[in-house]
Structures are given as C-alpha cells and as structure tokens.
Amino acid sequence: MKRPLAVILGLSIALSALTGIAVAKSGTLVVIETNDMQSAITPFKARIGGHKLIVGGLSRVATVIKATRALYGDSVIVVSGGDDLMGPLYYYYHGKPEYLGMSLAGYDAAVPGNHEFDLGPDVYAKALNYAKFPIICTNMEISDPFLFGKIRKYLIKDFGGIKIGFFGLITPDLPYISNAGDAVKVNKNLVEVARNAVSTLKKAGADVIIALTHIGLSEDIKLAKRVRGITLICGGHSHDLTSKPYVVKGPDGWKTVIIQAGARLKYAGRLYMPVKDGEAIIEKIKWEAILLDKTVGEDKELNAFLAPYIKGLEKRLSEKIGVSTVDLDARKSTVRSKESNLGDLLADAMRWKFKGDIAITNGGGIRGDRIYPAGPISYKTLISIHPFGNTAVIFKLKGEDIIKILEISASALVDKNYDPKRRTPTGGFLQVSGIRVVYDLSKPPTIFDGGKVSKWGSRVKSVEVLKDGRWIPLDPKATYSVITNSWLARGGDKYFIFKKYKGYDTTVTLPDIMRDYIKHLGGKIFPKTDGRIKIIK
C-alpha cells in the first residue's frame, strides 16, 4: 500500500487511506454547524422574535445530529466554529463536560476560538484531552510543551464517498483578547495561509475543501474574495446568524459559500450541498437555521452525562475564589453619584484585562444596593454584583469623544433641576479607571431630546489620563483605547455616542473579568477610593 502523501510531505495532516489516485464521487453532503457555544450546554431563557423562549442546550443539538444522520448516514458533517469553552463551567471543569458532550453528540471537527485560551494554554491543553474529534488550526504555531501536537493543521476525511479537506483559521487578535501566551503565535496573513492550505489539501486528494474559521463574518467574506478553491466557510467569532448562505465570488469566478449559526446554541445551522464529480453545485445548496426550542427534543443519553456537571456547578459557584479585606460598596447612593471602591475594582479589572488606556462602566450595572461585607468572594458573589451578562467592548476613541462621554456621565448627577426624561438616568453615572475627572455641578448639564443630545453640558472641569505612571492632561486630539461594557456600547443609558463607532466585543463577561483580576492579585483584594472622581458642588 502506498504511503499517504501527507506523510511523504511531512505534514501534520490526517488522511483517510489514500491508496492511489482519488476518484471524485457525487452525492449530497449535509453540514451541521454550531459556533460560539461559550459553554452554554443547557437550555436558557432568551428573547427570540419578540418572544421569551427556553432555547439551546447541547442535548438538542445531539437530537438534530442523530435525526439528520438517520436520514443521510455518513454524508453528514458536524463542525464547530470555535469559542466552545468559556465562563464558570470551563473555569471549574476545564472543558470536560463541553468537549466530551460534543463528542457524544457526534461532532467531527472544530476550530479553536479565542475563549478556549481564556485560562491559558495549559488548561486548554488539558481540555483537548476530552475532545474525541480533531481540533484544527492552520495559522497557529505552538511551542507550548503541553499544547504542542494536540491541534492539527489539516484533516482529510471521507464523508459519503467524498473526500473533504479541512483547514482552520483563528483570529489574529488572539494575543490581545485572550491568554494564549508567548508560546502560541498566530500568522496574521490569512489569505496566504488559506491559499497554501487549499494547495496542500488538493494535492493530498481532497475533493471539497471546508474552512473552519473563527475570524468573524466580515473577514470570512474578505477571505472568500481573494482565495480560490474554498468550497465552504463555517465561521464563528462575530455571532452572526446567516438567514441564508453568503455566496461570494472569488478569483476566476470561483464561488465560496459562507455560513454561521449565531451563538450559545440558540440555533443549529444545517446546509444541504449537492456535489457532482467532486465539485459542489452552489446553485442548489439549501440552508436552514434550526431554532433549538422545546419543539426539538432533548437527547436523554447526553442529558444524563451532563447532569452531574450542572449540579456540581451550582455547588462550586459558592466556593471561595478570593477574599476582600474591606467592605465593597454597591449602594445606589454611592455607585450612581460618586466614586466607589467596588466601581474602582470593576473598572480597574476591565482595563487590566484588555490593557486599555481607559475603562468605564455604568454605576447602575453594579447591583445589590448594599455593602458586600469583607470576607470570602465566590463566583456567585461576582454574578450578584453584575448579573446582566454584559461583556467588555473595546473602542478606539479621540480624547474629545471621551470628554463628551464624561459630560453624559455628569448629566446623571442629580440637582434641583434634574429631569430624567431629558438627562442621563442616574444609573448612567460612570465608574472609571485610567483617568481622573473633576465635575463642576455649578455648570449646565448635557440635555437630551429623544435619541440625541440637544445641548452639550460643560460640567467636565478637567480630565487627566494615566500615562507611564504619570497623570497628564487628556489630549482631545489623541486616540485612546477605551474599554466599556456591552450595555453602554449599544447606547444604553443614553450613551448614543458609542453607536457612531464600531467597537470590538470581546464577549468576556464582567464577572469573568473580575474573577481573573482577583486571581491576578493573588486572591486577596483591598480596593479603596483614590480620588479619581471629584465633584464640585
């Protein structure tokens, strides 16, 4: 028997018994995709089409997979577009329920996402031991001793007699939005990597080439326009739900299909792709986004496997992850009107996590309206402090925009003329990090008329930014990296100014950020106010 071409070339590639010249076959491939599961392995409440529904759950995905395979047999391909691991479940169980659950459900391949590295490459390496399906990434070079050799560059596998070649791409932003470390390098030239991958897979006998990507829909489209030979891109990272497949014309008229299935297993995408003589018939593809609501039954076997982890998570959420030696002030009277040591802690954590110049978060997002007493801090404590699931969003803003944002914050400060219909709600007062601001309440506040500012205020007396350990005046013309939360980024609390700009949603929740920051500080915290917000009355 001939040795596989990939072995001859010395490539990291898995081939399905190439014993001669491959004969391209015909048939209908059925591709089931999920992406950005984010450890949401059980059903949850969500608003879909104006209705509150219980959706999601890995056991419902398993039901879809089994029903599809019962009809189409080995022509069914099940893949993930990455970010399957995240949050408290990953923190406590290191990927075991997610990856073993996906294995039981019947996944064939996945690309890693940035959140797989949230706990560092060592923990991710441990998680990969539970994946009974290949993880593929072609633009990542790994020297980490624990992770090395556990992620494949390529895969070729026979589905329904058709040889499918897979390669994977992860976002070039990985070093900035996760904890991959110096031992994981990412090739940012996605076009070059993809062209080489197509060539390699074609030489190795692939009929159809599928790219598993975690780079976002806009980057998928750019890739398809410049690379010939990719039949299908199964994407992730941007959380798009494609109502119909994108068909993008590339070099020499080549057509590439792009799909993505939202996030958190609200949907499973299913694509029917006819293939004739090794080439996909793009004009006849069909796509459906299957809403994973109660009409989709739950797989009993998978539910039985997941049950102990779900029960255990409830218990572990109450376990201590750190300790505060001081009381943490979450009273409305504090967080919505002045500097709070808890507000400082949260904003500092956001700025530390993403290495930004400035971090801001609304006081109304800090909940409890009480003093959290000094003592142990559990994950449940952090969720009670910020229960909304808001994520950190990164913006590049001019100093003059930051001043306007602070003017909106100053509008929330109550005076005798306060009118909530024309002012910022009190919950919109900002807790900050990386800046020092002085507000003068004798000056007029910012006034709103509906969804826009009708008159800018002048309450911001001065703003300084921390630069190389020194406080210097904010430069209105300079550009700063600003970290905020997804509520404000969407224009919440009348911060409509953010809607003019495109931010990058890290999808890391604020409780996770606080957890990581407490761990970074050695598990013991003692935040105190330092005068970063001053108010002149």
How far is residue 447's CA from residue 427's CA, in Å, rounded to a whole number? 16
What's residue 181's pLDDT?
85
Give, to the nearest 10 degrees, the angle between helix 96-105 and helix 58-72: 20
Q: 467: Cβ–Cβ under 8 A, 6 or more apart, which residues?
A: 357
How far separated are the first and last CA of the chain, in Å rounded? 87
How far is residue 402's CA from residue 398's CA, in Å, rounded to a whole number? 7
Q: What angle do CA 43, 46, 47 make, to 5 degrees?
A: 155
Give, to the nearest 10 degrees, the angle between helix 190-203 and helix 217-226: 60
Q: What angle do CA 141, 142, 144 make, to 5 degrees?
A: 160
Asked whether 53 and 206 are in contact (CB, 8 A), the reply is no
Exposed/middle/buried for residue 362 (C-beta within 10 Å: 0-12, 13-18, 19+): buried
Rg (CA), the chain: 25
Q: Which domains does the chain have, with CATH numbers?
A: 11-313 (3.60.21.10), 321-536 (3.90.780.10)
For residue 297, what are the CA distances in angstroms to 61, 63, 65, 79, 268?
9, 6, 12, 20, 13
Half-sphere exposure of 5 (CA within 13 A, CB side): 17
For residue 25, what are the CA distances in angstroms to 91, 160, 284, 387?
45, 9, 17, 53
What's residue 420's pLDDT?
87
Placement of tokens 């300790």 in the chain: 323
Asked whether 41 and 306 are in contact (CB, 8 A), the reply is yes
The token duo for 162 is 């058709």
Exposed/middle/buried for residue 436 (C-beta within 10 Å: 0-12, 13-18, 19+): middle
3-state helix/strand/coil string of 409-471: HHHCCCCCCCCCCCCCCHHHCEEEECEEEEEECCCCCCEEECCEEEECCCCEEEEEEEECCEE
What's residue 20's pLDDT?
38
What's residue 18's pLDDT?
35
Q: Note if the pTM is more than 0.95.
A: no
Q: 287: Cβ–Cβ under 8 A, 6 or more apart, which residues?
A: 242, 244, 245, 259, 269, 270, 271, 272
Asked whether 127 and 96 are in contact (CB, 8 A), the reply is yes
Query: Taking Cα atoms as reference points, which of 443, 441, 445, 461 lies closest to residue 338?
Result: 441
The tens place of each residue's pLDDT in the chain, 537 residues long, gives 333 333 323 333 443 333 334 455 789 999 999 999 999 999 999 989 889 999 999 999 999 999 999 999 999 999 999 999 998 999 999 999 999 999 999 999 999 999 999 888 999 999 999 999 999 999 999 998 889 899 999 999 999 999 999 999 999 988 877 888 889 999 999 999 999 999 999 999 999 999 999 999 999 999 999 999 999 999 999 999 999 999 999 999 999 999 999 999 999 999 999 999 989 999 999 999 999 999 999 999 999 999 999 999 999 999 999 999 999 999 999 999 999 999 999 999 999 999 999 999 999 999 999 999 999 999 999 999 998 889 999 999 999 999 999 999 999 999 999 998 899 999 999 999 999 999 999 999 999 997 789 999 999 999 999 999 999 999 999 999 999 999 999 999 999 999 889 999 998 999 999 999 999 999 999 999 999 999 999
Asked whether 483 and 354 are in contact (CB, 8 A), the reply is yes
Q: What is the DSSP letter of 399?
A: H
How far is residue 213's CA from residue 138's CA, in Å, rounded to a whole number? 10
What's residue 24's pLDDT?
53
Q: 311: Cβ–Cβ under 8 A, 6 or more apart, which residues?
A: none
How far is residue 128's CA from residue 124's CA, in Å, rounded to a whole number? 6
How far is residue 26's CA from residue 273's CA, in Å, rounded to a whole number? 11
Placement of tokens 């509906």 in the chain: 450
DSSP-assigned letters across all residues of 288-342: EEEE-STTSPPPHHHHHHHHHHHHHHHHHTTSEEEEESS-EE--HHHHTTS--HH
For residue 86, what are the CA distances in angstroms to 123, 178, 183, 240, 512?
12, 11, 21, 18, 9
